[in-house]
């Protein structure tokens, strides 16, 4: 079994703007270590455990699952610059820079996909949630607390750069944007993309 990620993507203009902002953070000393190769911005909907030979089967089934789902607007509720406590690797702590959402449409989509993957024994969310529980040192967190509620723009950021990052996001990022695509990702990029019906 391989681990994939089902994600929701912003419409192309918004995605390009947010990718540019994310790239700036990753390459201009906002992190402890600059990084050139970064993934596209996305909202995680689920971790998926399938074999490579099942990629097309999953796509066909997801097409049917989301056939009534239309593109929808989301509005970030807040910009998080949460400072994580010191650790051996980051003795001064580190910041997690992201847009946080409380969106009913995202949750409906997440729940639909979550139930579908569980039914087919493809749901990989448990391991994902366990990792977040360990990072947060909060073992009461559930998938609903960790998935379909954030868009990461910079992890392992320097705490002294967090406020500057927030200011740039407020200046440059759209205040509201359209989610119009579902994609299956693996480490090397997108396997496939599906447009939501307009």
**Sequence-distant (≥ 6) Cβ neighbours of residue 171 within 8 angstroms:** none
- What phi and psi values does residue 151 have, to the nearest 5 degrees? -125, 110
Question: What is the span of the domain harbouring residue 110?
Answer: 2-195
Question: Could you tell me where the DSSP H helices lie in the chain?
Answer: 12-27, 55-65, 104-119, 125-136, 143-146, 162-172
Structural domains counted in the chain: 1
pLDDT digits (tens, 9 = 90+) for 157-183: 999 999 999 999 999 999 999 999 999
The CATH number of the domain where 35 resides is what?
A: 3.90.1140.10
Q: How far apart are CA 40 and CA 144, in angstroms?
A: 23
SS3 177: strand
- Quick one: what percent of the chain has pLDDT higher than 70? 99
- Higher-confidence residue: 187 or 53? 53
3-state helix, strand, coil in the chain (%, to 5): 40, 30, 30
What is the model's pLDDT at position 85? 86
Rounded average pLDDT over 74-90? 91
User: 10 Å Cβ neighbour count for 173?
Assistant: 18
The model's confidence at residue 198, banded by pLDDT at 50, 70 and 90, is low
Q: Which helix (H) or strand (E) holds 152?
A: strand 150-157
What is the model's pLDDT at position 23? 97
Quote the pTM value. 0.92
């Amino acid at each position: 079994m391989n681990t994939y990620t089902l994600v929701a993507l912003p419409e192309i203009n918004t995605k390009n703007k947010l990718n540019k902002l994310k790239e700036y953070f990753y390459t201009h000393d906002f992190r402890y270590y600059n990084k050139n190769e970064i993934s596209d911005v996305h909202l995680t909907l689920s971790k998926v455990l399938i074999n490579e030979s099942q990629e097309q089967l999953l796509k066909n089934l997801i097409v049917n699952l989301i056939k009534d789902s239309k593109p929808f607007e989301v509005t970030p509720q807040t910009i998080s610059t949460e400072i994580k406590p010191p650790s051996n690797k980051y003795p001064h702590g580190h910041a997690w820079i992201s847009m946080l959402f409380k969106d009913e449409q995202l949750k409906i989509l997440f729940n639909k996909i979550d139930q579908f993957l569980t039914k087919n024994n493809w749901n990989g969310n448990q391991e994902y949630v366990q990792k977040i529980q360990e990072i947060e040192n909060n073992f009461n967190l559930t998938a609903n607390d960790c998935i379909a509620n954030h868009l990461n723009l910079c992890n392992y950021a320097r705490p002294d750069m967090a406020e500057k990052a927030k200011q740039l996001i407020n200046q440059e990022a759209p205040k509201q944007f359209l989610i119009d695509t579902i994609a299956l990702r693996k480490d090397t990029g997108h396997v496939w993309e599906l447009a939501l019906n307009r």
